[in-house]
């Protein structure tokens, strides 16, 4: 195992082998932030990296929204419609997981620990789907943790240079 430093934040980590002229990132958040061209005024153009991250956030928002609508429908005793929204929340949760997995793969920032965390997120989603309709709380917690894990580098500052 070779030790490298994150190209964005400078955090040291290990990789199996070092490829010359390749930038290494400790997480997907650092990879995305590094690839956003920001000018002197703090403005940045929209690019594929930013859109991919925003799509994952939009899907997570919709997962939570479907869950909230389902809970409100249960309170109004409209169970048939609530069940549909529980299923919509489950579908959105699966879409969030898929979006995050694709994002990690596209940014080429996933390491073995990221694959394990992503797989554990899928297991949590599968466990939530064992109940019919799927239970949104474990799905929202699982996806929230997975989002925080993937984008943990967004809270770090860029190293000088």
Contacts for 27 with CB less than 8 Å, ≥ 6 apart = 6, 109, 114, 149, 150, 151, 152, 153
pLDDT at 44 over 80: no
Least confident of 39-48, 76-85, 88-97, 127-136: 39-48
Instruction: Supply φ then ψ for residue 12, to 5 degrees.
Output: -80, 145
pLDDT, one tens digit per residue, over 88-142 is 999 999 999 999 999 999 988 888 888 999 999 999 999 999 988 888 899 999 9
């Amino acid at each position: 195992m070779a030790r490298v430093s994150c190209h964005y934040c400078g955090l040291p980590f290990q990789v199996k082998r070092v490829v010359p002229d390749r930038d290494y990132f400790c997480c997907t958040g650092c990879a995305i932030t590094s690839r956003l061209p920001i000018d002197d005024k703090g403005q940045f153009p929209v690019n594929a990296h930013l859109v991919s991250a925003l799509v994952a956030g939009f899907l997570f928002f919709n997962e939570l929204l479907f869950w909230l609508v389902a809970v409100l429908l249960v309170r109004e005793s409209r169970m048939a419609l609530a069940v549909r929204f529980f299923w919509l929340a489950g579908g959105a949760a699966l879409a969030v997981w898929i979006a995050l997995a694709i994002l990690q793969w596209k940014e080429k920032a996933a390491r073995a620990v990221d694959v394990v965390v992503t797989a554990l997120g899928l297991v949590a989603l599968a466990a939530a789907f064992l109940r019919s309709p799927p239970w949104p709380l474990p799905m929202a917690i699982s996806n929230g943790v997975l989002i925080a894990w993937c984008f943990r580098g967004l809270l770090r500052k860029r190293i000088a240079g």
